[in-house]
Amino acid sequence: MKIHPVGELVLVTRDKEEEMTKNGLYIPQNAQKKQTQGTVVAVGRGRFTTEGKLIEPSVKVGDKVLFGEWIGREIEVEGKKCLFIKDSDLFAVIE
């Protein structure tokens, strides 16, 4: 299944959450902190200004990004959990 976000939406997969502490202790799933880092898997066209000018997204497919813990709408695509996030809600691109 192919998903193409519309407008300024970006589809992101979260990086895997930490299941163990640095000391080797197991962290139960309900105590794990949501990962705030992920990879862009699809990008919308961008958004239009009131003057009709297209502002393209600031990220591209494959970029590693930072975002807020509770930002976005979670969906499942082919068994993988993904997030729809507005381009303007992304904090940074990791190089």
Tokens of 17: 């959450």
At residue 35, the pLDDT reads 72
Instruction: Tell me the three state secondary structure of residue 89.
Output: helix
At residue 41, the pLDDT reads 94
- Entry pTM: 0.78
> Taking the CA atoms of the chain, what radius of gyration do you get in angstroms?
15
Question: Rounded to 5 degrees, what angle do the CA atoms 73, 81, 90 make?
Answer: 50
At residue 55, the pLDDT reads 92
CATH class given for the domain over 38-95: mainly beta
At residue 80, the pLDDT reads 86
Mean pLDDT of 82-88: 93
At residue 65, the pLDDT reads 95
Please report, for the chain, the start and end positions of each structural domain, with discontinuous segments joined by +: 38-95
What is the spatial distance between Cα 34 and Cα 18, in angstroms, rounded to a whole number?
9
DSSP 44: -
Per-residue pLDDT tens over the stretch 43-62: 999 999 999 999 999 999 99
Average pLDDT, the chain: 85
Residue 23 has pLDDT above 90, yes or no: no
